Amino acid sequence: MKVAVVGAGIIGLSTSLTLADHGHQITVYDPAPASGATWHAGGMLAPAAEVVYQQDPLFPLMIAAGKWYPELIALIQKYTDSPTGYRTEGTLVVAKDRADKTHLEELQEYQQLHGMTTERITTREARKLEPALAPAISGAVHIPGDHQVRPRLIAAALQEACRNAGVTFEAEAVKDVNDVAADQVLLANGLGARETTGWFEGTNPLKLRPVYGDMVELRVPAHQRPLVERVIRGFVEDRPIYLIPREDGTLTIGATTREDDRPEPQAGGVLQLLRDANEIVPGIEECDIIEIHTGARPGSPDDLPYLGRVNDRVVVSTGYFRHGILLAGVGARCGAEIVEKLKPSVDLEACNPLRHKENNEADSE
C-alpha cells in the first residue's frame, strides 16, 4: 500500500517507520523535518508526572504509550544504531514549601486513583538519590516508571531509520491531500493541519491552537557532573518546573505555558524558570547557558489529540499538545493500525478528529 505521511515530527516519523516495517511504501512530505514542536520538546516519558486534573480521557493513552515506548525504541534500533537519548532512571517530584507539599500529596493521590505507580519518600531519601537538591525542599515523590528521550536525537534517529527502512522524503509541504498520489494519507503535520485541505467540506473541523513554551539549555561544568542523574520535577509556589539531565552533561529546564502568539522566548518566563529551578537545584547557578528557545505545541480545545480516520483515504494524527513525545508510542501503533483499517489497540473514542466539527460550523454561521 502507498501511504503519504504529511509531517515529519516525531508523530509522523514514528508512524512512518511503523508502517514501513509492516511492508508499506511510505513517502513523507515536510520541507523542514523535526523543526517544530519536536525540536523544542523536553522529551519526558512521564505518564504519571504529566497528569493534569480533569483530563481523565488522556490517562489511558499516556499509560499505554509508556508501556509501548520500549517497542518504539527497539524498532528504531532495528534500522539504525543512532542514539535516541532513551534513559530509564525515573523521576523525582519535589515540593519547595508546605503549600507545595500539600499540592504534591494531593497530586499523588490523584495519580494512584488512576492506577499510576508513585512512591512517597522522605526529603532525606530524595537527597540521597540526588544530593544536589536544595536542603529546604519539603516533600518528595519517586516515580520509577517515568523515563525520557532526547527529542532532537530521537528525531534524527527516526529519520535515519526511516530511510534505512525504505521511506522516501520529499522536502515540500502538502496544501491539499488530493495533490499526493497515495492509497492512504496520514496528516501528522501539527499546526500545519489547519492549512491542509481536500479532506473536509466547509470549515476545517480541527480547532488547533499554538501553545508556546520557553525553555533553557544549560551546560553543567565538568567539576559538577553529574549535577542530577534523573529528571527532577518540582512545584515552587505552585508553579511547575522540570530539569532534565542529558548524557552529554547538558541540562534542559522548562517550560512555561503561554498562548500569546509571541514566537520568541520571553524574558520574564526565562527569568522565572531559572529562579524556580534554582530553588530546587541551587547548583544551576554555576552552569553555562547554551540555548534559550521557544516552540509552539499544537493544542486542541480539550487538550486531547486528534487521532482517527476522517474519510476512506485520510487519517488525522495531530493536536498532541505537551505530550507529543510520550504519545508517539500511541500515535505510531494506533496511527498505523488506523491507516491499515484495523481496530486500534487502545480506545480512541475521545480523540475523534471530528469531535469539534459542530462547534466550528456553529461559529461560522
For residue 101, the SS3 value is: helix
User: pLDDT of 287-296, one tens digit each?
Assistant: 999 999 999 9
This prediction has a pTM of: 0.95
pLDDT at residue 212 in the model:
95
Claim to verify: residue 158 and residue 226 sit in the same structural domain: no
Claim to verify: residue 70 and residue 160 sit in the same structural domain: yes
pLDDT at residue 363 in the model:
44
Is the per-residue pLDDT at 140 higher than 70?
yes
Cell (9 digits) for 249: 552533561
Claim to verify: residue 8 and residue 79 sit in the same structural domain: yes
Residue 293 sits at φ, ψ, to 5 deg, of: -145, 165
Cell (9 digits) for 176: 491539499
Claim to verify: residue 32 and residue 115 sit in the same structural domain: no
Claim to verify: residue 128 and residue 221 sit in the same structural domain: yes
Give the whole-number percent of the chain exceeding pLDDT 90: 89
Domain boundary among 298, 315, 346: 298
> Rounded distance, CA 192 to CA 318, Å?
9
pLDDT at residue 364 in the model:
40
Which residues lie across from 5 on neighbouring strands? 28, 186
With CA atoms as reference, report the closest residue to 15 among 354, 346, 327.
327
**362 burial class (0-12, 13-18, 19+ CB within 10 angstroms)?**
exposed
pLDDT at residue 358 in the model:
66
pLDDT at residue 55 in the model:
80
Q: Which whole number is the average pLDDT over 139-150? A: 94
Cell (9 digits) for 10: 516525531
Domain boundary among 298, 331, 352: 298
Claim to verify: residue 19 and residue 34 sit in the same structural domain: yes
Number of domains in the chain: 2
Looking up residue 311, the CATH number of its domain turns out to be: 3.50.50.60
Of 17-21, 29-33, 113-117, 191-195, minimum mean pLDDT range:
113-117
Claim to verify: residue 290 and residue 347 sit in the same structural domain: no
Domain boundary among 298, 326, 343: 298
> Rounded distance, CA 51 to CA 240, Å?
12
> Rounded distance, CA 248 to CA 91, Å?
19
Claim to verify: residue 122 and residue 243 sit in the same structural domain: yes
Claim to verify: residue 215 and residue 266 sit in the same structural domain: yes
Contacts of 295 (CB under 8 A, 6+ apart): 36, 37, 39, 40, 41, 212, 213, 215
Claim to verify: residue 287 and residue 311 sit in the same structural domain: no
Which residues lie across from 288 on neighbouring strands? 219
* Mean pLDDT value across the chain: 94
Q: How many CA atoms lie within 13 A of 238 on its CB side?
A: 4
Looking up residue 279, the CATH number of its domain turns out to be: 3.30.9.10
Cell (9 digits) for 137: 525542599
Q: How many CB atoms lie within 10 A of CB 48?
A: 25
- The residue with greater pLDDT, 311 or 261, is 311
User: pLDDT of 321-334, one tens digit each?
Assistant: 989 999 999 999 99
Claim to verify: residue 258 and residue 216 sit in the same structural domain: yes
Q: Which domain holds residue 167?
A: 1-86+147-207+300-364
> Rounded distance, CA 15 to CA 58, Å?
20
Of 229-233, 273-277, 328-332, 354-358, minimum mean pLDDT range:
354-358
User: pLDDT of 66-75, one tens digit each?
Assistant: 999 999 999 9
> Rounded distance, CA 145 to CA 291, Å?
29
Claim to verify: residue 229 and residue 358 sit in the same structural domain: no
> Rounded distance, CA 152 to CA 252, Å?
12
